[in-house]
Chain A
Amino acid sequence: MLRIECPWCGVRNEDEFSYGGDATVERPADDASQDDWYHYAYTRDNPAGPHREYWHHVNGCRAWIVVERDTVTHEVFSTAPASPNLPAGNREG
């Protein structure tokens, strides 16, 4: 059972969250090449060790957060809001 610290709600059990994929990939610009979009949609690294992931506090405050986690030891190094500049309206939620 992973214990994940939601920046808004504190430490919570893994089963309040759902995994949201690789947070290291950047969504290409609209005018990026087909190849960039192909890699964005389909290709992912599978690192053994520290990794940045999206998690969704789906059974909690519904915030999307970025979790830095070791995929081997499952150690969580840090958690942060998915976006540093969330509008205030979201934070209050």
Chain B
Amino acid sequence: MAQQFRTSSGGHIDRGRVISFTFDGKSYQGYEGDTLASALLANGVHLVGRSFKYHRPRGIQTAGSEEPNAIVELRSGPRKEPNTRATTIELFDGLVANSQNRWPSLDFDVMAINNLFSPLLSAGFYYKTFMWPASFWTNVYEHVIRRAAGLGTAATEPDPDHYEQCHEHCDVLVVGAGPAGLSAALAAARTDARVIIVDEHPTLGGSLNRDNYTIDGKHGSEWAAETAAELAAMDNVHVFSRTTVFGYYDHNVIGAVEKVSDHLPVPPAGHPRQRMWLFYPQRVILATGATERPLVFGNNDKPGIMLASAARSYVNAYGVKPGKRVIVATNNNDAYRTAIDLHRAGIFVTAVVDSRAHPDAPLADELKKLSIRLLTGSAVGAAEGGKRVKYAQIVTTQGDTLDPVRIDCDLIACSGGWNPNVHLHSQSGAKPVYDDSILSFVPGESRQAEVSAGAANGSFALQDCLDQGNAAGAEGANMAGFEGKEVKAAKAEDEGVYALEALWIAPTPYNKSYKQFIDQQNDVKASDVELASQEGYDSVELLKRYTTQGMATDQGKTSNVNALAILACQRGEPIPQVGITTFRPPYVPVAMGVFAGHTVGNDFMPVRRTAIHDWNEKQGAVFIEAGLWLRARYFPQYPGDTLYNCYVRETEATRNNVALVDVTTLGKIDIQGPDAPEFLNRLYINNWLKLPVGKARYGIMLREDGMVYDDGTTSRLGENHFFMTTTTANAAGVLAHMEQYHQTEWPDLDVVFCSVTEQWTGIAVAGPNSRKLLEKVIDIDVSNEAFPFMAVGECKLNNITARLFRISFSGELAYEVNVPADYGEQAWLDLLEAGKEMGVGVYGTEALGTMRIEKGHVAGSELDGRTTARDIGLEGMANRAKHFIGKHCSERPALLGDGRLQVVGLKSLVPGRNLRIGAHLVDPDKRLGSVSQSQGHISATTYSPQLDCGIALGLLMDGASRHGEQLDAVFPLDDEKLRVEVCHPVFIDPEGELVRA
């Protein structure tokens, strides 16, 4: 029969809306308003998973986000989501869920044999069991551990959904919409303060929807619904349901995840699956409620054992009977309500087992009236049964040695007391303090603009929750600058007092050894805590790591206090002395997609394209990422054309004729002001004061520690006007560097500057025929006499205003044309057109790199932050009579002594073999793999069409004085060893005649 465990009426479900779903391939039905957990229980399904280490059968323990056991794989295909708590999954039509950590089936799991080997899997087993031999780690242990441990499996296809990130400011943020939270939001909102109230459930109300309370003469859930409606109607209130605050960060910044579409089969068009919110409140009210503690007894993990509050939640909120024959086990008053609510729903409560000798008299009377048996001074010592609890062994807690009493049951609803949810308070930087009256931790002194109210504050009585919320709301608004008339909180009907006595571990029947679980998700037992303590891991932080208690996806919400208490018993100390671990975000597991938001795939980073990009693309260029830029790497001419063919062809076209390359990506900084020359003089190691107008100069910048930071040419366009270029990679950094020195050290310098990288398109025209080409389109005299090497001038390229620079990176006669970016493509096309009859080519970064290596120009691979100007052979540029950044540290003795890695050229002596970046340079004829000191490494390599051999730049110990030596370039990962000859880094035209021609 379908849903045979439904009550005849009641619950916040819509019995008219039947929903079909499957679990482990079997079809079931539930109702709208169910969670997956409540729907499974309605169908009598209690066994929903296998445990992490021992593969023990596990059931549903809670009715909320603290669930340790009932974690399932939700959905399938690319939307599959492992480790999802069945207790928080809202049921939707067609939902597919599967149990985890079992093979071949949930019912019969071969790994359950671990249960017999449990002595091998005790506390610290990771450290003890898999120690040696080392080779077993990769070959055996890792494989076994990965197969045996771990929970669900992740989807292998890309996530088809998208995620949003939003920000919102407010005066008062209320976290949690139970009685305290609703009361707080209402009080704050009445002052006109901007209020945000957040709750993880689809409906506001918290415990009011799960318990039978009366407020202002109404059922608590009715009062909650009316209050929620009142809040929703206020313009200054923003209500977030299905939203969980997961992080309390510095400066009162709050992170929350809104599950926009998780309750639907797929997100509606145009909607994200989830949304991340960053809230910026003036004041925060934490009304996060409390979480019930399980009792620790033998086999307390069997399906059919759940929290007392969860049992009555299933009855009250979902109209589900979690069992037919129930034992309520408790050490406190609160669980009596479970017995009463279940009894009223027609469930047979066979006994209330209270560990206290003298429970609350009015409650005892009430049970008597309902004819529910009450056993005092007793506890469940152990549960028995296979995949569902069958009976409990009841023991005495008062030191008697009576035989245990067997009571048959199919559900044990247990309560070990309540823990205020102090997680966010702790995350805010505050330290929770132990409160002996509730045997748990309550918020301590606030460190940020937050206050806790109600159960989160350790006040469990409903009227206290309403009053504290009301006061906190008014006070929060007041502190944010809002005044309001004092309004009394709603009136709750008296529901008795909360009182408890400690019962951290129940005695076992006949003192036999049982598995008494504390942390069910990580399979940590009371005996593990005891063992850890005996082995010296007896501080809370060590205990946590050694036993893994509290380190599962539930972060030990139901287990932390029990573990501390048992550790305290072991140490013979009171709990406050043992302390508490720090809670850290996220409060609940949060999908990575939410943190990524829209910055995935193509949107991971912005893409910068030059004005010539479209043309490059039309030519079929292969692009390479250079920082955020896409640069043309090479231009294949026919199908199957290789990188090698292309760069050789493009290099030859440049060296023998003329070719264009897009150099827009170089950083460009416009510098103006009377002190601009002095500013440059301090930034660069060389002289700038006397650079004539209309000239460019190559400059080197150091960091304060004397290492080379960047290089490039800077031109003087006017008396007080300079134009700097930087490397592509350092463009942003150099600008920040200049801003720092100008604003922190030299604010007296009258100079201004800004990046103009995007404003100008840069095109290099290189090759012996470059002048001939330019003469056709440039309106000024570009002859060697009128426009010599390093000349700079304004001109027109056809009718486009341009700047012309006689600079060369290729080592050929070359010019660089800059035009406003809007005319970049036109200028490129004009140059191509002008060069058509002479067969002008184009080249990409690969040929650019080849030619710079042939010419011995250093670049990022040599300027790696560890080389000085001396190391790259350019110390001669420095003017040490003036002050410049890095001057003093570059004179430190160790940087001037022997043994420095210096830039050298390297030629492959093995015909047809190119060298490899990263290869180490060692003495020749050493056996590969033998111990030999690396004397340096190769930083950049290419095949040189000019020299017809593999060449490279490298950094070699004392390399400047070792030209002519032979070494081996070794790359042990590939068993590669190539003989090389050390040479001057400038392979072609060392005198620079070509560039000056």
Residues in A lying within 8 Å of B, measured CB to CB: 1-3, 13, 18, 20, 23, 27-28, 30, 32, 34, 37-38, 40-42, 54, 56, 58, 62-64, 73-74, 76, 81-83, 85-87, 89-90, 93
Contacts and interface: CB of A to CB of B under 8 A. Distances in A.
Contacts of A87: 747-748, 750
A34 B891 contact: yes
Interface of B: 249-253, 278, 280, 429, 447, 673, 704-706, 736, 739-740, 742-745, 747-748, 750, 752, 883, 887-889, 891-892
Given A3-B251, A56-B739, A82-B743, 4 more contacts: A1-B249, A1-B278, A28-B888, A93-B752
B251 A27 contact: no
A62 B750 contact: no
Given A41-B705, A85-B747, A85-B748, A62 B892 contact: no
A29 to B, nearest CB: 9
A32 B888 CA distance: 9
12 contacts: A1-B249, A2-B250, A18-B736, A23-B744, A38-B889, A56-B736, A56-B739, A64-B740, A82-B740, A87-B750, A89-B673, A93-B752
B892 A34 contact: yes
A64 B429 contact: no
A90 B704 CA distance: 24
B135 to A, nearest CB: 42
Contacts of B673: 89
Nearest to B735: A62
A38 B890 CA distance: 10
Contact of A30 (B743, B883, B889): B883
Contacts of B280: 3
Contacts of A58: 736
Contacts of A30: 883, 887
Listed from nearest, the 8 A-B pairs whose CB atoms lie closest are A37-B888, A83-B747, A1-B253, A3-B251, A64-B743, A30-B883, A82-B744, A74-B250
A18 B892 CA distance: 30
A63 B253 CA distance: 24
A56 B740 contact: yes
Interface centre among A32, A56, A64, A93 (most CB of B within 10 A): A64
Contacts of A1: 249-251, 253, 278
A9 B511 CA distance: 69
A51 B742 CA distance: 22
Contacts of A73: 429, 447
A51 to B, nearest CB: 15
Interface centre among A82, A85, A93 (most CB of B within 10 A): A82
A86 to B, nearest CB: 5
Contact of B740 (A20, A32, A81): A20
B628 to A, nearest CB: 14
Contacts of A23: 744
A83 B746 CA distance: 9
B739 A64 contact: yes
A65 B936 CA distance: 41
Contacts of A41: 704-706, 889
A13 B706 CA distance: 34
A93 B739 CA distance: 12
Interface centre among B253, B429, B888, B892 (most CB of A within 10 A): B888
Nearest to A63: B743
Contacts of A76: 251
Given A1-B253, A38-B889, A74-B251, A90 B748 contact: no
Nearest to A27: B745
Contacts of B736: 18, 56, 58, 62
B898 to A, nearest CB: 20
Nearest to B447: A73
B598 to A, nearest CB: 15
Contacts of A83: 743-744, 747
Contact of B743 (A18, A27, A38, A90): A90
A34 B889 CA distance: 7
A89 B251 contact: no
A62 B739 contact: yes
Nearest to B249: A1
Nearest to B254: A1
A30 B742 CA distance: 17
Contacts of A37: 888-889
Contact of B744 (A2, A54, A93): A54
A41 B744 CA distance: 16
B278 A40 contact: no
A86 B251 CA distance: 29
Contacts of A32: 888
